[in-house]
Structure formats: structure tokens, C-alpha cells
Amino acid sequence: MIIVLKPEVTEKQIQHVIERVESLGLRAHLSRGTYRTIIGVIGDEAKLQVSPLEAIPGVASVVPILPPYKLASNEAHPEPSVVNVAGVKIGGGFLAMIAGPCAVEGAERMDAIAKAVKAAGANLLRGGAFKPRTSPYAYQGMGEEGLKILRDTGDKYGLPVVTEVMDPRRVELVDRYTDMFQIGARNMQNFTLLTEVGQTRKPVLLKRGMSATVKDLLMSAEYILSEGNSNVVLCERGVKSFDPITRNLFDVAAVPATKALSHLPIIVDPSHATGRP
């Protein structure tokens, strides 16, 4: 961490900052430049909070060196993570394909779709039993009945299943049927939900919110990781743009950018951002 001091900082203020740093068991390295004076903090910067430091008289700004998403960062885990979803590996060079309907709408239709998914070579089956809708009058999903259909169909065709959980109160219910939780774009920053799935050890597919930055996505992953669940897979599914010609803008560059920052596997969901407008 680097503490940048104001040009008019006094010697007394400098000493006060140094004493504050050293009181936490850290070392302070003072460097005087032509225009500015800085203090380099050596040690576990997690012991320091940025906001209280910036409130100290004489401090202009505080620049953290380590990213705030400590558990999700490559620095914490240099090797790419591999997440195992009921025998299907995601990440680390393993190719996984998830396919299925947006919503489970009945056993017969789900069976036909799963048969096609299996024949096409996909190795994970998805289907929504609880659906986030813009309108409260739109179809909301089949609920537990849909979960049962998805589970039975996945077992029939030997496909692990992925389904969305929207409510912290339903995590236990969905956990009984699914092999992987999906956190949709609208719930990417539902921190209570993230904490709840983090307390399980079941794999989580975390989708990037439609207006979220890559850092926002990694900070949401940090919520899950900090609860002890290391089985997190990130998903790029498109963001909102100024151009209404397509529903979403598929942010291809976000994929390598995320990989450069994090060890977590990342997959893409082209369904909302490609195809016909």
C-alpha cells in the first residue's frame, strides 16, 4: 500500500501517519520527492482500512497494491482452478458445454430437449424452475415440480444439471435437486444470496450483471469464496449498451481480461447477446 501525502503536509503529520502504520505491526518507508512525499507500507495491508487512513490530516490518497478480491485473484492462487460438477470438469483446459431450455415447461418437452442436448455433445443440462422476470405477470417457472423434472431428466440421460436459485430462502430446496447453482445476472450483487450459496460446497455458476464491471463480478465471487466455497465458475453473458439493435452486447474482451486477473474458470453464455435481434 502507498500513502500519498499532501504537498503542504507537516513533519508532525508525517510522523502521525508513520506511527499509525507501525502501531499495526507494519513497516513504513518514507520517500520524499520533488513535489510529493509518499509512505510505502510493508506488510499485510489487510490490517489497514483505506477510508480511515485518508481521513488523517496530511494524507491526500491511499493506493492499495493488492486487489480487493484477494481470494479470486491470480496472486492468491497462481494456478488455474478446476471446478468439478458431478464428474464434469470446468477450467484448466477442460471443455464443458451447458445446454437446455430457459425454463422447464413439462416432462415430455424436457425429455426431448435433453435427448437433443446429449446427442449434440453437451455434458451439462440446464433448465430454469424459478425465473426472474421483468413483469410480475410473466411466467415465473414451475418451482419444485420443475426441479424434480429437471433432476429426473438429467439422471435419465446421464447429464449433471444446472439451475438458477434466486432467493436465499430457497437455497436448501434447490440444493436437493441441482448439481450446480446458477446465480443470474440480476442477482450478481444479491449479497445475501451469494453468502448463502457460499456456505454450501456445491459448484456455483456466477453470471456477470448486465451493467457490472469485471471487478464487480470478481468482488461478487469473493463473497462466495470468503464463505469457504471454492467451486465458483464465472460467466460472461453480455452487457447493456447504447445500441438497441441487439438485446445485449457480448463483451468478448472481458473473457481474457478476467483470466488475466483471476484463477477462476470463466465460460460464456451467448444466448442473450447473439443470434437474431
Mean pLDDT of the chain: 92
| Residue/partner pairs of 270-275 with CB below 8 Å, 24 or more apart | 270/237, 270/238, 271/102, 271/237, 272/237, 272/238, 272/247, 272/248, 273/237, 273/238, 273/246, 273/247, 273/248, 273/249, 274/246, 274/250
Candidates 3.30.70.1140, 3.40.50.720, 3.20.20.70, 3.40.50.300; CATH matching 2-63? 3.30.70.1140
Which residue from 275, 233, 232 is spatially nearest to 250, judged by alpha carbons? 275
pLDDT beyond 90 at 10: yes
pLDDT beyond 80 at 251: yes
pLDDT beyond 60 at 277: no
Which residue from 130, 133, 125 is spatially nearest to 103, judged by alpha carbons? 130
The pLDDT of residue 211 = 92
CB 2 within 8 A of CB 63: yes
pLDDT beyond 70 at 250: yes
The pLDDT of residue 50 = 63
Q: What is the pLDDT of residues 90-136, one digit of tens each?
A: 999 999 999 999 999 999 999 999 999 999 999 999 999 998 877 88
Q: What are the angstrom distances between the C-alpha of 125 and each of 77, 94, 162?
A: 29, 17, 6
The pLDDT of residue 51 = 64
Q: Cell 505491526 sits at which residue?
A: 25
73 beta partners: 262
Question: Domain boundaries in the chain?
Answer: 2-63, 83-272
High-pLDDT (> 70) share of the chain, %: 98
Mean pLDDT of 231-258: 90
Query: Between vectors from CA 177 to CA 175 and to CA 180, what angle results, nearest 5°?
Result: 60
The cell numbers describing 207, all together, are: 453470471
The pLDDT of residue 165 = 97
Which residue from 238, 243, 244, 201 is spatially nearest to 217, judged by alpha carbons? 238
pLDDT beyond 70 at 42: yes
Q: What is the CA radius of gyration of the chain?
A: 23
Domain 83-272: CATH class, spelled out? alpha beta
CB 228 within 8 A of CB 199: yes
Residue 275's pLDDT band, with cuts at 50, 70 and 90, is low
